[in-house]
Amino acid sequence: MMTFILFLFSHSLFAGDLLTQKKIFQLGDYTTVEGKKIPAVQIGYETYGTLNSDKSNVIFITHHFSGNSHAAGKYTTADLEVGYWDNIIGSGKVLDTDKYFIIASDSLVNLTPFSPKTITTGPASINPKTKKPYALTFPLVSVEDFVHVQKKLLDSLGVQKLFLVAGASGGAAQALQWAASYPEVVERALLVIPPGLSMPDYTVALLNLWSMPIKLDPNWRKGHYYGRSAPEQGVAESLKMITFSALSFDWASNFKREKYSPSTLESLDSRFKIETFLDERAKLRGKLVDANSLLYTAKAIQTFDIRSKIDSLRAKFLFIPVETDLIFPPLLSERASKELCDKKINSHVSTLKTSGGHLDGLLRIHESSQVIADFLADKISFCP
Amino acid sequence: MMTFILFLFSHSLFAGDLLTQKKIFQLGDYTTVEGKKIPAVQIGYETYGTLNSDKSNVIFITHHFSGNSHAAGKYTTADLEVGYWDNIIGSGKVLDTDKYFIIASDSLVNLTPFSPKTITTGPASINPKTKKPYALTFPLVSVEDFVHVQKKLLDSLGVQKLFLVAGASGGAAQALQWAASYPEVVERALLVIPPGLSMPDYTVALLNLWSMPIKLDPNWRKGHYYGRSAPEQGVAESLKMITFSALSFDWASNFKREKYSPSTLESLDSRFKIETFLDERAKLRGKLVDANSLLYTAKAIQTFDIRSKIDSLRAKFLFIPVETDLIFPPLLSERASKELCDKKINSHVSTLKTSGGHLDGLLRIHESSQVIADFLADKISFCP
C-alpha cells in the first residue's frame, strides 16, 4: 500500500524564499535486484513548483553521497541554510519552479538517517520483525535499487515521463541509472560532476578508503553499535576524507599554511589550521551520520555500472564536470560522452572551469545555467 | 665521534649490475632545530661511482616518504629488486657512475626501520638511557633536521660542494631544504614530483589523513606498542592510502572493474580486484614499517617551508613534475619556479607527460633523461 504523509515541517509562504516541506513516500515491501525482500520501505522527498495538466513538466532530482532530498528552498523563512542546489532551482532560475514541477528524492541507505532533512530505509531502520535496528542484516542494495524505489514514488504521483532527471556526483550515477533502467521515462539527463557510465576503479578504491576509518574504529563492532557507543571517531575521519576529496589545491591554499598551535613541532597532536578546520567540520557533520549506512552507500556507489545497457539508452545527455575535480575529473565525462556519441546517442559535455574541485558541482553550478537552459530548450548541439 | 661501519651486505662485482653496499654514518649527539638533544644518531647511506681528486663530482640523493637510501643497484646479483632510481643512476645513465660520485642517504625517523635497506634514528630506536625504544619520547624533527644530519655525513666524507642534490617527492623537499640551508654547498638541485617552496595546505591535510588510520588502531596505544601487538591494521591502511595517492585514474583503470568475489553485493567484505590489490600490497609493505616513525615523517614533511630563505638561494633549479600527479600537481612546480625566476634565480620546469601519477617520478623518470643531462651540462635555458 502506498500512502503519503506530510512530515514534521509546516510552512508559510513568504516572498523571495522558496518554501518547502518534507514528504514521505511509503512503499511497503520492496524486493532488491539481488532478490532480498525489505518490508516497510520509505523514502523522503520534496517538491517545488506545480505539476501541469498533462504531467509533462516533471524534473526528478537525485542526491549526492552525503546529500538528501533537500535540494532547494527552506522549511521556514527563519532557516539559515537552503537546499544544496538552491542556486539553480527556484522562480526565475534555470530549473524554474514557475515552469517545472520538481521532485527531489531521498535514496535507500542514505547515510544521514539522523538528519531531520532525510527519510530513508537502511541498516539504522527498525526491522519490524525484531523491533531492533537491522544493522548488517539489512540487505546490500545497489544504485539500481535506489532508482527502482524512486520509480515507485513517481508511479504513486501518476507521472509517466521525466522531462529531466538531474543529479550531482552520486546523484549523477542515479540519474544515469534512471536513463538506463527506464529509457521510456527519461527524456533528458543532466549529469553534474559525474562518474562515467560506470564507477571508475580509482573511485572504487577511494570509496574503500572512505569506509575504512569506520571499520577501524573499535566501537563499530562489525555493525552492532546501536544502543551502545557509536563509532563516532571513525565516522568523523570518514567524513574528513570525503570533504578532503571534494575540495582542491586552490581551495586548500586559502589556509595559507596557518598554524593552529604555536609550533607544529610541539607535539604529534599539534595542527595546522586546515587540519583543525577539517576535523571540526567532520565532527559536526558526524552527528547526523550512521556508520553502517555510510558503508552501505559506499558499496552501492562502487557497484554502479550501466555499460551493458548503453544500447537501450534513449535520453539526451548533458555532462557538466568541474575542471579541478579530483573525484571525477572531466576526462570521465569526455569518455562517457564519446561512448554515447559512438552509439548515436545525443550527448554534450560542458566543463565548469572553476578552481574549487568536486564541490563546485554544488556550490557553483549556477555558473553553468546558460548551457543547462540551452539543453532544456533543445538548443544545444550534440556530439561532434 | 664520527665513524663509518660497513653494514651487513657484501658484494661481488659482476658485469651489467651496479652492485652496492649499505654503510652507516654514526654522528653521535645531534641537537634538533628546536633544541632537543638526541644521542647516538646514525643514518645509512650508499655510494655509487668514485670521488674525483678535487671532490667536484658529488651528487647527493635524498629519498621520498616511504623510501630509503637504496637508490640504485643491487646488494648481490641474486637480488630481484634494484634501487628506486636505478633507471637514471648507473654506468652510461644520466646520473653516470663513471663520471659522478653519488651518495644516497637515509633520513631521520625513516618509516621503515625494520627494513634491512634502511638505517635511521627515530621513535623505534633504543634510547641509550632507558634501553627501551623511545616511542613518543623521541623529539619531533623537521626536514631541516634531516638535512643537517646529512650535512654531517657529507662533512665526514670531506666533501664541501655538491654538483647536484636530487630527490623525488619528500626527497625533493629535502633537496630544496639543502639548497636553502646550505646555499654555498649546493650548485644544482633536481626536484622530481616536488612540492613548491613549502608544503601546500592540501598536502598538509593529506598527510593528516595518511596518519589517521594508525591513530585509530586501538593497538597504537598512543605510541606505546613496542613489545606488544603493533598497530598492523592501522599501518596497512595508512600505506594503502599512500599507494592510492601516488597512483592515477589511468593506472587504476587497468583493473577494468574486475571483481574479486562473484558479487560485490554479497557482503560488506566483498571486494573489487583493485581493493584486494591495494590491501595485499599494503599488508606486505607494512611488515617493514614502524607506525610511530610514519607519524614522525608525516609531521616533518608537513612543516617543510623554505619560503623565508628564498633570497639566500644560489643553486640552479630543475623541477620535473608529473602531469597526472595527484599529490603534487605540476602547477606547484610552475608556481615555485616563477617565484624563483622573479628573484632572478635560475629555474626551469620540465613536465613529465605520463599517465601513471605521482609514482611515475620514480618509475618513469628516465624519460626525462635528456632534460636532466642538459641541466647537468648547463645547456638549459632558465626562466622566461
What are the residues facing A95 on neighbouring strands? A89
Q: Are B134 and B125 in contact (CB under 8 A)?
A: yes
Structural domains for chain B: 3-199+309-376 (3.40.50.1820), 204-300 (1.10.1740.110)
Give the pLDDT of residue A9: 35
- Does A257 lie at the interface with B, CB-CB under 8 angstroms? yes
Distance CA B59, CA B238 (A): 32
Judged by CB atoms closer than 8 Å, whether chains meet at A202 and B329 is answered as no
**Of the candidates A50, A91, A71, A297, the residue with the CA atom closest to the CA atom of residue A168:** A71
Q: Residues of A with CB below 8 A from B358's CB? A: none
Residue A225 phi, psi (nearest 5): -115, 0
Give the A:B interface size as CB pairs under 8 Å.
142
Separation in Å, CA B212 to CA A268, A378, B219, B238 = 12, 49, 13, 7
SS3 A173: helix
B66, B169, B248, B337: the active-site residue: B169
Q: Which residues contact B143 (CB under 8 A, 6 or more apart)?
A: B170, B173, B174, B177, B300, B301, B303, B304
Strands, E assignment, chain B = 3-6, 23-31, 37-48, 58-62, 89-90, 95-96, 101-105, 126-127, 132-133, 164-168, 188-192, 316-320, 347-349
- Residue B228 DSSP code: S
- Over residues B296-353, the pLDDT tens digits come to 999 999 999 999 999 999 999 999 999 999 999 999 999 999 999 999 999 999 999 9
Question: Average pLDDT over chain B, rounded to whole?
Answer: 94
pLDDT, tens digit only, all 384 positions of chain A: 333 333 333 333 444 679 999 999 999 999 999 999 999 999 999 999 999 999 999 999 999 999 999 999 999 999 999 999 999 999 999 999 999 999 999 999 999 999 999 999 999 999 999 999 999 999 999 999 999 999 999 999 999 999 999 999 999 999 999 999 999 999 999 999 999 999 999 999 999 999 999 999 999 999 999 999 999 999 999 999 999 999 999 999 999 999 877 676 878 989 999 999 999 999 999 999 999 999 999 999 999 999 999 999 999 999 999 999 999 999 999 999 999 999 999 999 999 999 999 999 999 999 999 999 999 999 999 998
Which chain A residue has its CA at the smallest distance from B137's CA? A267
Instruction: Closest CB to B249: pick one of A136, A257, A329.
Output: A329
User: Does the model's pTM come out above 0.90?
Assistant: yes
Give the pLDDT of residue A17: 79
**Of the candidates B229, B238, B217, B236, the residue with the CA atom closest to the CA atom of residue B296:** B238
**Of the candidates B48, B38, B7, the residue with the CA atom closest to the CA atom of residue B25:** B7
Judged by CB atoms closer than 8 Å, whether chains meet at B209 and A299 is answered as no
**Of the candidates B171, B178, B158, the residue with the CA atom closest to the CA atom of residue B55:** B158
B112 grid coordinates: 621503515
**Of the candidates B213, B155, B171, the residue with the CA atom closest to the CA atom of residue B301:** B171
Q: Are B28 and B2 in contact (CB under 8 A)?
A: yes
What are the residues facing A348 on neighbouring strands? A318
Give the pLDDT of residue B263: 72
Distance CA A110, CA A87 (A): 23
Query: B16 burial class (0-12, 13-18, 19+ CB within 10 angstroms)?
Result: exposed
Distance CA A209, CA A298 (A): 10
- Distance from the B216 Cα atom to the nearest Cα atom in chain A, whole angstroms: 6
Distance CA A68, CA B319 (A): 45
Q: How many CB atoms lie within 10 A of CB A258?
A: 12
Distance CA A128, CA A39 (A): 8
- Residue A352 DSSP code: B
Residue A99 phi, psi (nearest 5): -120, -40
Alpha helices in A197-262 (DSSP H): 201-216, 232-245, 249-252
Give first-to-last CA distance, chain B, whole Å: 48
B148 is a catalytic site residue: no
**Of the candidates B243, B251, B380, B250, the residue with the CA atom closest to the CA atom of residue B319:** B380
Distance CA A66, CA A359 (A): 12
Question: Which residues of chain B are modeled with pLDDT < 50?
Answer: 1-15
Q: Residues of B with CB below 8 A from A253's CB? A: 200-202
